[in-house]
Structure 1
Amino acid sequence: MQNFVFQNATKIIFGKDTESMVGKEVQAFTTKVLLHYGSGSIKKSGLYGRVCASLKEAGVAWIELSGVQPNPRLSLVQKGIELCRKEQIGFILAVGGGSTIDSAKAIAVGVPYQGNVWDFFERKADITQALPLGVVLTIPAAGSESSNSAVVTKEEGWYKKDIGSELIRPKFAIMNPALTLTLSVEQTMIGIADIIAHMTERYFTQVPNVEMTDRLLEANIKTVMHNAYILYADPQNYDARAEIMWAGTLAHNDLLSTGRIGDWASHMIEHELSGIYDVAHGAGLATVIPAWMQYVYKENINKFAQFANRVFDVEPDFDAPHLTALEGIKRFKQFYHSLGLPVSLKELGVPEDRLEEMAAKCTAKGPVGNFKKLSKQDVVNIYKLAR
């Protein structure tokens, strides 16, 4: 286990009707906010009205910026930066899922910065200031509600890149599982794939003696899988929704990263799929990760055999642990397939004519991943395995 410092300052407010507390939480920071959200589904559900009523009761004024898309766009971020400067906004309230939160985070770092906010994504500048932000979560998936990272897509060239800083970790996250009852089964399962990906990226490490976080990751993955099956059959099950929502936060709030070095190659490989083809991030990960596993498992067969045994109950073959590992990968892929998720580029609707281009963009600054350093050709090979 490696040395580590763990700190997560996000205040979690969890449970039914908790969105009514948003005004009081915002009031502690400011009396004027940017209310940031997506296409308007929060208005149809009535959440928008409840949030506005709570803000009004607390004496908080707001300026609105809607229009966040899945794989949030740089152009809207830039619009938000201009709006916050013009209106002298000091706090951002994101109401939605990971895309809305990530867009809000990008706006937050862009407002006090005199250059182009994309500089942070290209590592041309360090984040030293950011507006504070809070969250009302509606889609459990990205874990952005208490993470220190964000991902945005630049339309020019369709580059999808990330930033990370403690300054963009939300001050609070209001999490009412009942708000997720309106999600379709497909949306729910795509979110679940995203949650599991955050854990497998952490799980497959070459750092030895991380038993504590291994066990936490295994338990959280199994919990998500169990409740995924419940929601696939009964999407209105509040208790299963609650388990998934809390698991999604734990998957990406850095607790499960302590003492270990995660891989994250699969995320970078998938970013090229969703950046160019605008596929749902979780669906892309469901396709990429089993292919990545198949490509790299020989780098640490025992780790994959452990995963197969503890998560998928594969009987260990001590004489041939590679067979245990391969069976685990097979069952993992079958799990995604059983939830109606794509497990190939063909099912995802991604053609094969731009694999080289995507791999080149993915590795433009050098090899990716930590479990195994992947070159451009390695990434091409993984895309081909995912066909």
Structure 2
Amino acid sequence: MNNFTFHNPTELLFGKGMIKQLGDRVKKFGNSVLLVTGGGSVKRIGLYDEVIGILNENGIDIHEVSGVKPNPRIDKVREGVKICRENNVDLVLGVGGGSTIDTAKSIAAGVKFDGDPWEMFTMDGEPDKAIPVGAVLTLAATGTEMNGNAVISNLETNEKLAIHTPAVNPRFSILDPVYTCTVPEEHTVYGIVDIAAHVYEQYFSHTPGTPVQDRWAESILITLREESKKVLDNPEDYEARANIMLCGTMALNGLIAMGKETDWASHAIEHELSAFYDIPHGGGLAIIFPNWMKYVMDEGLDKFVQYAVRVFGVSTDDKTDREVALEGIEKTRQWFNEMGAPSRLADYNIGEEKLEIMAESAVSNKELGGYKKLTKDDVYQILKMSL
């Protein structure tokens, strides 16, 4: 295990009715809020009116940015930064899923950034200042509610890039699983895949001596498998929704990565797909990850054998390590497919035309991968396997 320092400053308010705490939390930071929302689901479920009512009851001035889309765009960040500066906003409040909260984080950092907000994503280093951020989560997926990450797309440059800075960790995040009960099945599935993918990026590591972190990661994956069946059978199963929501938070709040080298190649490859084709992030990960696993497994079969045995219960009787590992990978693909996730790029009508340019972009100016260092040709081969 590597040396590490762990600190997560986000206050988590989890459970039914926790939205009632919103007013008190916001007032700690001031009396002016920028409310960031998405495409209308928060209004359909009544959460928007509830948030507005609470803010009004507490005398909070409200400014708004709405219409944030999946694979959130830099133009909404620029819009929000302008509003915050013109109105001396004290806190940016994201209400919705990961795209909305990532936009809120990026706006908060952009307010303190001297330059166009997109430069935060392309520069060397990370922004180190931001006005406070709060979050009310309605979709279990990205884990953004308890970390300092934000991913934004620029359609003009076909780029999807991220910032990673504790400056944008939400000061508080409110997670009421009830708000996820009306999430459409497709988005529920994509969220579950995204959570699993976050675990994989940290689980598959060559760092020795991490049994605690491994068991934490495996428990998240096993819970996801069990609860995903329940929630797809009964979308209003509160306990299943709650457990999936908590899995999403625990998968990417720094806990399972403590003292470990991590990978993140599959996310980088999928970001190219999202940037060029604007496909759902979870859908792209469902396609890429099993093929990445198959491509890199010979770099360390032991971890893939452990994964197959512990997470999927694969028997090792009369099998080679490679056969056990391959069975675990195939069961991963089957799990995603059984939930209704796509399995090939062809499912999104993506062919070979842009594979090479995406592979080039994925490795440009950065080292890609941890379990296996990937070259442009490696990325190309993984994409080709995914067709």
Fold conserved between structures, TM > 0.5: yes
Distance in 2, Cα, partners of 1:341 & 1:44: 25
> TM-score w.r.t. structure 2 length?
0.98
Range with bigger deviation, 367-376 or 119-128:
119-128
Give how far 1:24 is off.
Answer: 1.2
1:166 aligned onto 2:144: no
Range with bigger deviation, 74-83 or 361-370:
361-370
CA contact (8 A) 1:93 1:135 kept: yes
SS in 2 for 1:217: helix
Letter in 2 for 1:283: G
Q: 1:338 to 1:319 in 2, by over 3 A?
A: closer
Distance in 2, Cα, partners of 1:208 & 1:123: 33
Gaps of 5+ in 2: none
Which position in structure 1 is the counterpart of 2:365?
365
Give how far 1:318 is off.
Answer: 7.8
Give how far 1:367 is off.
Answer: 3.5
Which position in structure 2 is the counterpart of 1:105?
105
Which position in structure 1 is the counterpart of 2:219?
219
Which position in structure 1 is the counterpart of 2:336?
336
Give how far 1:67 is off.
Answer: 1.1
Give how far 1:319 is off.
Answer: 6.4
CA contact (8 A) 1:21 1:54 kept: no
Letter in 1 for 2:33: V
Q: Give deviations 1:286-331, integer Å, cap 9, x for gaps.
A: 1100000010000000110000000010012586211110110011
Distance in 2, Cα, partners of 1:213 & 1:348: 35
Range with bigger deviation, 317-326 or 27-36:
317-326
CA contact (8 A) 2:145 2:170 kept: yes
Distance in 2, Cα, partners of 1:361 & 1:318: 43
> TM-score w.r.t. structure 1 length?
0.98
Distance in 1, Cα, partners of 2:109 & 2:18: 27
Which position in structure 2 is the counterpart of 1:51?
51
SS in 2 for 1:95: strand
Q: How many residues align?
A: 387
Give how far 1:94 is off.
Answer: 0.3
Give how far 1:112 is off.
Answer: 1.4
CA contact (8 A) 2:17 2:176 kept: yes
Range with bigger deviation, 112-121 or 325-334:
112-121
Distance in 1, Cα, partners of 2:336 & 2:241: 18
Q: Give deviations 1:107-130, integer Å, cap 9, x for gaps.
A: 111111121222221134541210
Distance in 1, Cα, partners of 2:191 & 2:347: 17
Which position in structure 1 is the counterpart of 2:275?
275
Distance in 1, Cα, partners of 2:207 & 2:64: 45
Range with bigger deviation, 158-167 or 361-370:
361-370
Distance in 2, Cα, partners of 1:348 & 1:149: 27
Which position in structure 1 is the counterpart of 2:156?
156
CA contact (8 A) 1:309 1:328 kept: yes
Taking only aligned residues, the RMSD between alpha carbons, in angstroms, comes to: 1.1
Which position in structure 1 is the counterpart of 2:12?
12
Alignment of 1:1-387 (within 5 A): 1-124=1-124, 126-317=126-317, 320-387=320-387
Distance in 2, Cα, partners of 1:82 & 1:17: 33
Range with bigger deviation, 185-194 or 14-23:
14-23
SS in 2 for 1:256: coil
Instruction: Show structure 1 runs of 4+ deviating over 3 A.
Output: none
Distance in 2, Cα, partners of 1:310 & 1:341: 23
Gaps of 5+ in 1: none
Distance in 1, Cα, partners of 2:125 & 2:319: 51
Give how far 1:347 is off.
Answer: 1.7
Letter in 2 for 1:349: N
